[in-house]
Amino acid sequence: DGSLLFQQVPMVEIDGMKMVQTRAILNYIATKHNLYGKDLKERALIDMYVEGMFDLNELFVMYEITPEDKREQQIANMIDKAENRYFPVFEKVLKDHGKDFLVGNQLSKADVQLLEIILM
């Protein structure tokens, strides 16, 4: 019926709109519920951290299409990058920031995304 703008999911119906594209949906929901920073600087930090998390997530997605004979190598690569490249960054941000959240002093979209990637 034309609801899927690019003929693919995800699609969320919210506030009278049919929204597509993951990042657009996430940004809308985060903004609506005050999870997207209090100003432009906080929003930029949130975007920066979330984009790093999306990069890490791509490693997990690639595993699904990795040929069987290379999956063990892919797992080792995922673990190495998670432990030595990505998670240390978020640990440092939290330590340097001195708060319980990645940005500002309240829960943000970045904190939610980090929890998701940790649980994966």
Structural domain boundaries in the chain: 1-33, 36-119
Q: Which parts of the chain have pLDDT scores under 70?
A: none
Say what the pLDDT of residue 96 is: 94
| Residue 73, token pair as written in the block | 């190598």
Say what the pLDDT of residue 11 is: 93
- pTM for the model: 0.85
Helix axis angle for 40-65 and 109-119, nearest 10°, is 20
Q: How many CA atoms lie within 13 A of 106 on its CB side?
A: 9
Q: Which of 109, 117, 107 has the alpha carbon at shortest distance from 23?
A: 109
Say what the pLDDT of residue 5 is: 85
The terminus-to-terminus CA distance of the chain in angstroms comes to: 34
13: which strand partners? 18
Q: How does DSSP classify residue 69?
A: G
Say what the pLDDT of residue 112 is: 95
Say what the pLDDT of residue 110 is: 97
Class of domain 36-119: mainly alpha
Helix axis angle for 40-65 and 71-81, nearest 10°, is 160
Say what the pLDDT of residue 7 is: 84
What is d(CA 55, CA 58) in angstroms, rounded to the nearest whole number?
Answer: 5
